[in-house]
Amino acid sequence: MTPEQQRHQAQLAFAASGAELEVGSPADCPLPVELLLATAAASPWVTQHFAGGLTAEVYRIEAGGRQWTLKRARMPCKVQNVDGQTSFLNEVQRRAEIQRLKARPGGAERFAALVDTQYASYRQGLLLSPWIAGEAVQEWDERRLLQLFDCLHVLLLEGLFEWDLCAGNILDDGRIRLFDFGYMYRFDPLRAFNSNGTAMPQFHGAERFETRHYFAHLLRLEKQSEARALDAFELEKRIALQAYQRLQRELRQRGASPGVLAWLETLIQRWQGALRAGLDGLYLEEAWRSHWLDLHDDLGGQTCTPLTLARIDWLQDCLAARHPDLQSLGLLAGRGQEHWRAQLRQAHGDATRWQVGA
C-alpha cells in the first residue's frame, strides 16, 4: 500500500468506527455547543457567513466579547474524492497535533502562524477558532514571503506537509496565518519528500505554494508586465532558496537520509544556478508545471473556477509561443505539440462544465 492508501484506509476506518475525536472541551466554548450546532446565517451571533466553501460552512460569530470562526463540516462535502470526503476528519486530527505543538515550551511563538483551536468535535462536525482579522494577500512582498516560508519550514521539520496553500487558505493580519488544515498530512521529513513517501519528488513546500498560489499571482503580474512578474519570481526564489538551505542543514543535523539530502541539494543547485545565470528558463519550467498541476487538482476534484480557465489560457498561449523552449527544457515528456493541444482542449471543456463559482 502507498502512504496515501494507508492514510485513506485509516481515516475511512476511523470514520466508520463511530469514535469521536475532540480538541479541547465544550466548556471552552463561548456559547453552549447546542447553540453553535444550531447556527444558521440568520442567528443573532453570526456577523458574516462564507457559504462558498467546498468542505465546510464557515461563520464569523461574536460571543463572549470576542470574534470567532465557526466551521461546520459539509455532509457530504462537495469535493468528489476520498481526500475531500475525509478532509474534515483530517483537519481535526491535524488541529489536535498543532495544539500539542503549541503547548510545548516556546511552541506558542514558533507555531504562531497556525491558528489556535478553541474547540473541535469531529462527530458533531464543529470547529471553533479565534477570528483572524486579516486580509487575503494581494501583494507578496519580502515580509510576507519570509513569514510564509518560515511557517512552511517549522511545519516540514515537524513532519506536517500542507498541500493546499491556495489564496483562500492564507490570511495576513500583520503576520501570515494558516487556518485550513483539511489537506495537511503527516510524513517523515527525515526519510520522505512529502506525504507520498519518495514516490513523487516533484512535490515539496515551495512547489505547493507556487502551484496553488504564487503562479496565479504571477499570472496577474504578467498582464501588467513580464519584468514585474520576473522580479516577483526572483524575490520568491531567493527566499525559497534560503529556506531550503536552512531546511537541509537542520534535517542533516537530525540524521536525514542521503536520499532526502540529495533531493534537496538538486533543488538548491538548480535555483542557485538560475539566480546566478538568468531566471527565464526556470520561470518557464515552474510556471508550466504550476499551471498544469493545479489544473489537474481542479479537474480531479471537479471543482473548477475562472482561475482554472485562466491557467488553461496561459498554457495554450505558452505552447504556441514557446514550444521549442518547452521541448528543450524536457517539459513535454517526448509528446508532440498536437498531443498537448488536444489535452488542453479537453481540459477546457471539462473546466467549463465543472465551474463551481469563484
Which residues of this protein are in contact with ligand ADP, per CB under 6 A? 50, 53-56, 58, 69, 71, 115, 129, 131-132, 168-169, 171, 179-180, 182
Nearer to Mg ion (CB atom), residue 61 or residue 79: 79
The Cα 240–Cα 271 span in angstroms is 9
Q: How far is the CB of 58 from Mg ion (least distance, A)?
A: 8
Nearer to ligand ADP (CB atom), residue 182 or residue 205: 182
C-alpha cell at 296: 489537474
The Cα 297–Cα 287 span in angstroms is 15
Stretch that binds Mg ion, among 5-13, 77-85, 110-118, 163-171 (CB under 5 A): 163-171
Nearer to ligand ADP (CB atom), residue 152 or residue 274: 152
Nearer to ligand ADP (CB atom), residue 61 or residue 256: 61
> Dihedral of CA 328/333/335/338: which sign?
negative
Q: Are 319 and 326 in contact (CB under 8 A)?
A: yes
Nearer to Mg ion (CB atom), residue 180 or residue 236: 180
Could you tell which of ligand ADP, Mg ion, none binds residue 176, using a CB distance below 5 to 8 A set by kind?
Answer: none
Could you tell which of Mg ion, ligand ADP, none binds residue 111, using a CB distance below 5 to 8 A set by kind?
Answer: none
Q: How far is the CB of 108 from ligand ADP (least distance, A)?
A: 17
**Which one of 57, 83, 91, 180 is in contact with Mg ion (CB under 5 A)?**
180
Could you tell which of ligand ADP, Mg ion, none binds residue 77, using a CB distance below 5 to 8 A set by kind?
Answer: none
C-alpha cell at 215: 503562479
Q: Where are the beta strands (DSSP E) in the chain?
A: 22-23, 46-50, 56-63, 66-73, 119-121, 126-130, 160-162, 170-172, 176-178, 184-186
C-alpha cell at 355: 465551474
Q: Which residue is nearest to Mg ion (CB)?
A: 180
Nearer to ligand ADP (CB atom), residue 115 or residue 315: 115
**Which one of 169, 195, 211, 290 is in contact with Mg ion (CB under 5 A)?**
169
Q: How many CB atoms lie within 10 A of CB 333?
A: 7
Nearer to ligand ADP (CB atom), residue 125 or residue 182: 182
Could you tell which of ligand ADP, Mg ion, none binds residue 24, using a CB distance below 5 to 8 A set by kind?
Answer: none
The Cα 246–Cα 230 span in angstroms is 24
Q: How far is the CB of 180 from Mg ion (least distance, A)?
A: 4
Could you tell which of Mg ion, ligand ADP, none binds residue 56, using a CB distance below 5 to 8 A set by kind?
Answer: ligand ADP
Q: How far is the CB of 27 from Mg ion (least distance, A)?
A: 28
- 3 state DSSP class of 196: coil
Could you tell which of Mg ion, ligand ADP, none binds residue 125, using a CB distance below 5 to 8 A set by kind?
Answer: none
Which residue pairs from 91-97 have beta carbons closer than 8 angstroms and sit at least 24 positions apart in sequence? 91/127, 91/180, 91/181, 91/182, 91/184, 92/21, 92/23, 92/120, 92/121, 92/122, 92/127, 93/21, 94/160, 94/181, 94/184, 95/23, 95/120, 95/127, 95/181, 96/21, 96/23, 96/120, 97/160, 97/186
Nearer to ligand ADP (CB atom), residue 57 or residue 286: 57
3-class SS string, 288-307: HHHHHHHHHHHHHCCCECHH
Q: How far is the CB of 343 from ligand ADP (least distance, A)?
A: 28
C-alpha cell at 185: 498530512
Return residues touching Mg ion (CB under 5 A).
Answer: 168-169, 180
